Structure 1
Amino acid sequence: MLRTPSSPSPLLQALGGHVTSPPPVWLMRQAGRYLPEYRSVRNRVPSFLDLCLNPALAAEVTLQPLRRFAFDAAIVFSDILIVPYALGQKVEFKEGEGPKLEAIRDADAVAKLDTEGAGARLAPVYETVERATAELPETVPLIGFCGAPWTVATYMVEGGGSKEHLAARFLAYHQPETFQRLIDILVEISAHYLAGQAKAGARVLQIFDSWAGVLSEDEFTRWCIAPTRQIVQRVKAEVPGTPIIGFPRGAGLLAERYARDTGIDAIGCDTAMPVGWMQRLQVHIPVQGNLDPVLLLAGGAAFDARVEAILGTLGAGPFIFNLGHGILPDTPVENVERLVSLVTTWQA
Structure 2
Amino acid sequence: MRQENRVDPARTALQPKPLMAVLHGEVPAVPPMWLMRQAGRYLPEYRALRAQKGGFLELVYDSEAAAEVTLQPLRRFGFDGAILFSDILIVPYAMGQDLWFEAGEGPRLAPILGDTDLSALTPDFSRFDAVYETVRLVKAALDPAVTFLGFAGSPWTVATYMVAGQGSKDHAAARRMAYSQADRFAALIDAIVDATVTYLSGQIAAGVEAVQLFDSWAGSLAPTQFERWVIEPNRRIVERLKAIHPDVPVIGFPKGAGAKLADYARLTGVDAVGVDETIDPHWANEALPAGMPVQGNLDPLALVAGGRAVEEAVDTIRTAFFGRPHIFNLGHGILPDTPIAHVEALIGHVRQAREPD
> For the superposition of Structure 1 and Structure 2, which TM-score range results when normalised by the shorter chain?
over 0.9
Determine if the alignment matches structure 1 residue 257 to structure 2 residue 266.
Answer: no
What letter matches 1:328 in structure 2? L
- 5 Å-filtered alignment, 1:61-72, equals 61-72=69-80
Distance apart, 1:198 and its partner CA: 0.6
Deviations 1:196-223 (A, max 9, x none): 1011000010000000011111110110
Question: 1:268: which partner in 2?
Answer: 274
Match of 1:104 among 113, 120, 133: 113
Distance apart, 1:112 and its partner CA: 1.7
- 5 Å-filtered alignment, 1:140-289, equals 140-280=146-286, 281=288, 283-289=290-296
Determine if the alignment matches structure 1 residue 137 to structure 2 residue 143.
Answer: yes
Give the Cα separation in 2 of the matches to 1:41 and 1:307.
Answer: 32
Q: Cα–Cα, structure 1 residues 91 and 302, in superposed 2: closer, same or farther, change >3 Å?
A: same
Determine if the alignment matches structure 1 residue 36 to structure 2 residue 44.
Answer: yes
Distance apart, 1:158 and its partner CA: 1.4
Give the Cα separation in 2 of the matches to 1:7 and 1:67.
Answer: 18
Deviations 1:246-299 (A, max 9, x none): 000011111111011110000001001101122122624111000000110111
2:265–2:289 Cα contact (<8 Å) kept? no
What letter matches 2:234 in structure 1? T
Distance apart, 1:312 and its partner CA: 2.0
Deviations 1:15-54 (A, max 9, x none): 1111011000000000000000001110111220111111
Count residues in correspondence.
341
Structure 1 SS opposite 2:237: helix
Distance apart, 1:239 and its partner CA: 1.4
Match of 2:321 among 314, 320, 323: 314
Match of 2:26 among 18, 33, 39: 18
Q: If the length of structure 2 is used for normalisation, what is the TM-score?
A: 0.93
Give the Cα separation in 1 of the matches to 2:45 and 2:138.
Answer: 16
**Greater Cα offset, 60-69 or 275-284:** 275-284
Show structure 1 runs of 4+ deviating over 6 A: none
2:212–2:250 Cα contact (<8 Å) kept? yes
Give the Cα separation in 2 of the matches to 1:6 and 1:318.
Answer: 22
Give the Cα separation in 2 of the matches to 1:6 and 1:263.
Answer: 30
Q: If the length of structure 1 is used for normalisation, what is the TM-score?
A: 0.95
Match of 1:78 among 86, 97, 111: 86
What letter matches 2:180 in structure 1? H
2:31–2:326 Cα contact (<8 Å) kept? yes
1:149–1:227 Cα contact (<8 Å) kept? yes
Give the Cα separation in 1 of the matches to 2:141 and 2:218.
Answer: 35
1:7–1:13 Cα contact (<8 Å) kept? no
Give the Cα separation in 1 of the matches to 2:75 and 2:130.
Answer: 23
Deviations 1:286-315 (A, max 9, x none): 110000001101112112111122112213
Structure 1 SS opposite 2:53: coil
Give the Cα separation in 1 of the matches to 2:344 and 2:121.
Answer: 44
Q: Cα–Cα, structure 1 residues 341 and 282, in superposed 2: closer, same or farther, change >3 Å?
A: farther
Match of 2:336 among 323, 329, 333: 329
Structure 1 SS opposite 2:117: helix
Give the Cα separation in 1 of the matches to 2:272 and 2:282.
Answer: 17
**Greater Cα offset, 41-50 or 309-318:** 309-318
Give the Cα separation in 2 of the matches to 1:48 and 1:187.
Answer: 25
Identical residues among aligned pairs (%): 52
Listed as ranges, the gaps of 5+ residues in structure 2 are: 1-12
RMSD: 1.4
Determine if the alignment matches structure 1 residue 295 to structure 2 residue 307.
Answer: no
